[in-house]
Chain A
Amino acid sequence: MLQYVAKRLVLMIPLLLGITLVSFVVIHLAPGKPTDMATMMNPKASLEAKERLEKLYGLDKPLHVQYWNWLKRLAVLDFGRSFSPDREEVLTKIGRRLPITILLNVLSMFLIFVVSIPIGVYSATHQDSLFDRATTVFVFVGFATPTFWLALLLMILFGVNLGWLPISGLKSMDYDQMSLLGQAWDRTAHLIMPVLLSAFGGLAGMSRYMRANMLEVVRQDYITTARAKGLSERAVIYKHALRNALMPVITILGLSVPSLIGGSVIFESIFAIPGMGQLFYASVMSRDYPMVMGGLVIGAVLTLGGNLLADVGYAWADPRVREGRS
């Protein structure tokens, strides 16, 4: 097992290098330079100022030299400084936005699992019932509804008309003057709409997936055996079928690891949440190369790591995989 993990880890290195090379080339191929944003269309910026900026950022060197320099720094985990005017460390900038992004994603993923697994199981066990059809319609409506539109409707209802929930941001203006309990509620209240909405769109996929798995599992021989043994329907479904139907969830969890740090630009803009999506989008638009590369490398590492975790987790949970049986 250890040997397997070690082998996978070693194989990840060339893959990661390949990803960075392709990303580096692609982002530099996009027209425009980071220096353009500060100097173009600015009457007070001369050509000389622009050239000076380019030199300062090392953009006057050939691309392969730039890549090599970047790679050398990466080897010691130095992601460099952002090209944006604040010139902050890439890691500092990411670190500042990571907690809220992860919190939101974890909460919404949790909500998706909590809601969609029961829906999926119930739909499968009551296939083609009214509930099955109704939830199917419901989750697909959720899947198809544009988040920003629904978000605005809910904001008008809960924020403006009813005044129950805050509209955007992470905490209220008078947060510092609240009691501890008040602060906790304030934080929670600000998270309710974003979490609900980001989970809403994800229900469809997960509940459909769960339903399909469950239908697949209940057709297996061991379920027939369990029924033949005279087990109650409850035990058959929840003890024997559900546990097996949940297996692929491990894969989904593994694949979700990189999305934990990703955020949706539209979603974050609507709710004024300072998350990763906005940061990454802004850095792509302003051609902030170190920032973009930093984000891509972290994303790539997490994707590869997530895949590995999923495979290992599978082996751990399923003796058939572990012992190479089918």
Chain B
Amino acid sequence: MRPLLFALLALVLIPGPFPPALAAGDDGPAYGDAIIVGSIGDASTLIPALSADTASSSINGLVYNGLVKLDKNLRLVGDLAEGWDISEDGLTITFHLRQGVTWHDGQPLTARDVMFTYRLMIDPATPTAYGEDFKQVKKAEVVDDHTFRVTYPRPFAPALISWGFPVMPAHLLEGKDITTSELARRPVGTGPYIFKEWQTGQQIVLESNPGYFEGRPYITRHVTRVIPDMATMFLELKSGGIDSMGLTPLQYLRQTDTPEFGKQFRKYKYLAFSYTYLGFNLMDPKFKDQRVRQAMAYAINKDEIIEGVLLGLGQPANGPFKPGHWAYNEKVTSHVFDPDRARKLLAEAGWKPRATEEEGCFFSACDRRKEDVTLYKEGQPFEFTIITNQGNKQREMCALIIQQRLKDIGIRIKVQTIEWAAFLKEFIDKRNFEACILGWTIPLDPDLFDVWHSSKTRPGELNFISYKNEEVDRLIDESRYTFDQAKRKAALDRIQEIFKEDVPYVFLYVPDALPVVASRFKGIEPAPAGIDYNFIKWYAPESLQKYHLTP
């Protein structure tokens, strides 16, 4: 029904000669046109080793290539590397580079560029946040121009995906101070798009690379426009100033449901690579009892949170992985919302309403106590503070919904929001919190080491809830130091079962990513990886092209 309707609309909309054989205004792939993408923030630096923000990485993703990448089903495939061999013992990986790949300035890409990138990443003088995976390498060698070999002291599962990091040009960066290189503002890569112009705080313009090894991208120009305000960005979208942006749930459901909007744009929806959680400081005696944590998981209604915060555009999170990913354990389900069970568990753990805890009270006091459902243990009421960072409305709303639900079972909650830098430094880093609502990006390789291993509990490290579970530690190591996918999966599956039982976090939800793209762009095929994975195959049919570029 929908394609037909679309075809009719297109016929009504587009005047002039129209090839009758082709449907829906789509006269086939054509080169040309420009796509203008809205971005909240400007890029910081276009040297991949130095950037840590999404705005920069999305530009770098179009300008550079890694040795490997993920395909639309999130499986590892070759990018600059045509293929790779892993030695029998799993210690050595040999990458075979594609022949005939050139940098945007015409120089050929060789294994020496890969070597340079590796050396740069482990150089103490490089202020990069991404050196760790590369430091695991024991030996790296250039076998010949198109063969690069790395050896690890033990099989290291995250190794392969770490080579998806953008390869940087040795002939332009070698022997220079990378922090002051002009490539930061004028990158030279091997990717599908060539850098053209950067107007700070306004826009970054890229042009398609006609000699790209996977074929010339159809869309000739890619412009990222910086619009810091979401409301303005949405108005720009409606007025045609930009072609694509990420929508908020409210915009997706309530502000874009007009036929007018449907004609001009197509909305997409897929699970984002992140989850939001309620984490407990496990050093706090209140949360040491597993039953208490389980009780909270039963007392929180995830569906209600998703409905309230995301207007239903998301899925309950059951663990640290994204539903649909190979590491996700389908058998582990969410705790079903069950306040009675929560009360029972809390009672088992010694938390009881005061009236039953101590006998003997006078009439009025008894009445007052009957109304007071707050739970007590050893005379202390069950109350704690949930902190979250300022400026994240969704997390604040989660906290408020949780506050209400836990109040129902007798736990008093205070909610506090704190500016990001102070939040990290004064509260998270110093373990100066009881519970927090935060989110994690779901990494492409399912490595749980940094967030869950008990060795990562030093100040500043990411296991800030101080989770210590010997079995989990062992399973993490097991999943980490092997290339055997089945073995990894078994270990990770078991970890997810343990998490359900142990409730170190209450995993709340995985939100939907809600991109919208002007409907003149065809060839977009949503997949587990999202929509951007085949960007170079997107096109605007000749008759629908909006910007006619004169080179």
Residue positions of A touching B, CB distance < 8 A: 30-33, 36-47, 49-50, 52-53, 56, 81, 84-88, 93, 96-97, 148, 152, 155-156, 159-160, 163, 166-170, 173-174, 177, 268-275, 278-279, 285-287
Contact of A41 with B424 at beta-carbon distance under 8 Å, contacts A85-B53, A168-B241 already known? yes
Q: B32 CB to closest chain A CB, in angstroms?
A: 14
Give a binary string over B461-475; 1 marks a CB under 8 Å from any A CB, 0 the rest: 110000000000000
**CA gap between A40 and B129 in the complex, in Å:** 10
Contact of A170 with B202 at beta-carbon distance under 8 Å, contacts A36-B424, A87-B184 already known? yes
**CA gap between A81 and B227 in the complex, in Å:** 26
- Residue contacts A-B, CB under 8 angstroms, 7 given: A30-B422, A42-B129, A85-B52, A155-B232, A170-B202, A269-B228, A274-B200
Chain A hits for B53, CB < 8 A: 85
Check B437 for interface membership: any CB of A closer than 8 A. Answer: no
Find the residue from A45, A53, A56, A272 having the highest chain B CB count within 10 A: A272
Chain A hits for B422, CB < 8 A: 30-32
Is the Cβ of B239 less than 8 Å from the Cβ of A287? no
Contact of B127 among A53, A97, A286 (CB under 8 A): A53
Chain B hits for A155, CB < 8 A: 232, 235
Q: B544 CB to closest chain A CB, in angstroms?
A: 17
Chain B hits for A37, CB < 8 A: 52, 421
Is the Cβ of A167 less than 8 Å from the Cβ of B235? yes
Is the Cβ of B421 less than 8 Å from the Cβ of A52? no
Chain B hits for A285, CB < 8 A: 420-421
Check B75 for interface membership: any CB of A closer than 8 A. Answer: no
List the A residue with the shortest CB-CB distance to B51. A85
Chain B hits for A268, CB < 8 A: 228
Chain B hits for A33, CB < 8 A: 425
Is the Cβ of B184 less than 8 Å from the Cβ of A86? yes
Is the Cβ of B236 less than 8 Å from the Cβ of A32? no
List the A residue with the shortest CB-CB distance to B450. A43
Q: A192 CB to closest chain B CB, in angstroms?
A: 15
**CA gap between A4 and B51 in the complex, in Å:** 51
Q: B163 CB to closest chain A CB, in angstroms?
A: 14
Contact of A274 with B421 at beta-carbon distance under 8 Å, contacts A160-B238, A167-B241 already known? no
**CA gap between A167 and B200 in the complex, in Å:** 19
**CA gap between A153 and B227 in the complex, in Å:** 17
Check B112 for interface membership: any CB of A closer than 8 A. Answer: no
Q: A103 CB to closest chain B CB, in angstroms?
A: 14
Q: B47 CB to closest chain A CB, in angstroms?
A: 8
Q: Chain A interface: which of B86-94, B130-138, B325-333, B402-410?
A: B130-138
Chain B hits for A166, CB < 8 A: 241
List the B residue with the shortest CB-CB distance to A35. B127
Contact of A85 among B56, B131, B241, B429 (CB under 8 A): B56
Check B540 for interface membership: any CB of A closer than 8 A. Answer: no
**CA gap between A155 and B460 in the complex, in Å:** 44
Chain A hits for B185, CB < 8 A: 86
**CA gap between A169 and B225 in the complex, in Å:** 9
Contact of A45 with B458 at beta-carbon distance under 8 Å, contacts A31-B425, A86-B45, A274-B202 already known? no
19 new A-B contacts, CB < 8 A, other than A45-B132, A169-B227, are: A39-B460, A40-B424, A41-B424, A41-B438, A43-B450, A45-B129, A84-B45, A85-B45, A85-B50, A85-B51, A156-B235, A160-B238, A168-B232, A173-B241, A177-B550, A270-B229, A271-B232, A274-B199, A274-B201
Q: B185 CB to closest chain A CB, in angstroms?
A: 7
Check B34 for interface membership: any CB of A closer than 8 A. Answer: yes
Q: A221 CB to closest chain B CB, in angstroms?
A: 54
Contact of B235 among A84, A152, A275 (CB under 8 A): A152
Number of interface residues of B (CB under 8 A): 59
Chain A hits for B159, CB < 8 A: none
Is the Cβ of A272 less than 8 Å from the Cβ of B56? no
Q: B92 CB to closest chain A CB, in angstroms?
A: 23
Check B543 for interface membership: any CB of A closer than 8 A. Answer: no
Chain A hits for B227, CB < 8 A: 168-169, 272
Chain B hits for A270, CB < 8 A: 229, 231-232
Q: B43 CB to closest chain A CB, in angstroms?
A: 9
Contact of A52 among B52, B127, B180, B184 (CB under 8 A): B127
**CA gap between A26 and B124 in the complex, in Å:** 31
Contact of A32 with B424 at beta-carbon distance under 8 Å, contacts A52-B124, A170-B202, A272-B232 already known? yes
Is the Cβ of B132 less than 8 Å from the Cβ of A49? yes
**CA gap between A36 and B236 in the complex, in Å:** 34
Is the Cβ of B44 less than 8 Å from the Cβ of A86? yes
**CA gap between A196 and B56 in the complex, in Å:** 33
Q: A78 CB to closest chain B CB, in angstroms?
A: 14
Chain A hits for B392, CB < 8 A: none
Q: A313 CB to closest chain B CB, in angstroms?
A: 34
Find the residue from B125, B236, B438, B547 having the highest chain A CB count within 10 A: B236
Contact of B36 among A44, A97, A173 (CB under 8 A): A173
Contact of A163 with B239 at beta-carbon distance under 8 Å, contacts A31-B422, A270-B232 already known? yes
**CA gap between A38 and B130 in the complex, in Å:** 10
Chain A hits for B203, CB < 8 A: 169
Check B179 for interface membership: any CB of A closer than 8 A. Answer: yes
Contact of B131 among A49, A148, A168, A177 (CB under 8 A): A49
Check B256 for interface membership: any CB of A closer than 8 A. Answer: no
Residues 222-249 of B at the A interface (beta carbon under 8 Å): 223, 225-229, 231-232, 235-236, 238-239, 241
**CA gap between A309 and B95 in the complex, in Å:** 68
Is the Cβ of A274 less than 8 Å from the Cβ of B235? no
Closest 3 CB pairs of A and B: A274-B201, A32-B421, A45-B129
**CA gap between A45 and B125 in the complex, in Å:** 15
Is the Cβ of A169 less than 8 Å from the Cβ of B127? no
Give a binary string over B417-443; 1 marks a CB under 8 Å from any A CB, 0 the rest: 000111011101100000000100001
List the A residue with the shortest CB-CB distance to B459. A47
Q: B292 CB to closest chain A CB, in angstroms?
A: 26
List the B residue with the shortest CB-CB distance to A275. B201
Is the Cβ of A272 less than 8 Å from the Cβ of B225? yes
Contact of A49 with B235 at beta-carbon distance under 8 Å, contacts A32-B421, A86-B44 already known? no
Is the Cβ of A167 less than 8 Å from the Cβ of B239? yes
